[in-house]
């Protein structure tokens, strides 16, 4: 029987702990966290992102996170805590599970960007076009 999205989400949510904005702020304050926004570029351009976050769209995550990939991003280090988020928490759950599968042990899911913003979390707004 084929795996369903529901199955994938259950596996991801079981593997990657969800954290509140307050818990994420504590992890960030420790100084060894990589915050990863896995939304698509138009979403980030429209709303901004968590201050200090690194944008890697969900479709490129494994390519950027795998040290053996020619597209590896050196910001990904297995000794860091990785905090992933998206628009609602679904893509970030799947992204977190993919990172765990790639050997990243300290991965948490912040969930929805709007929850961060509504909690008063620091945001970097996109630069206006032409500026």
In a domain, 82, yes or no: yes
- Which helix or strand (DSSP H or E) is residue 84 part of? strand 81-86
Note whether residue 93 is domain-resident: yes
Q: Is residue 130 a part of any domain in this protein? A: no
Sorted by sequence, the CB contacts under 8 Å of residue 74 that are 6+ apart come out as none
> Rg of the Cα trace of the chain?
14
In 3D space, the residue among 36, 49, 124 whose CA is nearest the CA of residue 85 turns out to be 36
CATH number at residue 111: 3.40.250.10
- pTM, full prediction: 0.92
Domain range for 19 is 7-121
- Residue at 37 is within a domain: yes
75 token code pair = 């910001």
Give pLDDT tens digits for 52-93: 999 999 999 999 999 999 999 999 999 999 999 999 999 999
Query: Shortest CA distance to 85 belongs to which of 45, 44, 120?
Result: 44
> Domain total for the chain?
1
Does any domain span residue 73? yes
Q: 56 in a domain, yes or no?
A: yes
């Amino acid at each position: 029987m084929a795996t369903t999205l529901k199955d994938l989400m259950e596996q991801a949510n079981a593997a990657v702990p969800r954290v509140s904005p307050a818990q994420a702020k504590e992890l960030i304050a420790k100084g060894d966290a990589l915050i990863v926004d896995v939304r698509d570029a138009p979403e980030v351009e429209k709303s901004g992102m968590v201050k200090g976050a690194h944008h890697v769209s969900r479709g490129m995550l494994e390519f950027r996170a795998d040290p053996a990939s020619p597209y590896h991003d050196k910001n990904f280090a297995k000794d860091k805590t990785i905090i992933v988020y998206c628009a609602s928490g679904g893509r970030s759950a799947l992204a977190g599970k993919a990172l765990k599968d790639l050997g990243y042990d300290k991965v948490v899911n912040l969930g929805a960007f709007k929850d961060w913003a509504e909690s008063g979390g620091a945001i970097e707004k996109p630069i206006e076009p032409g500026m």
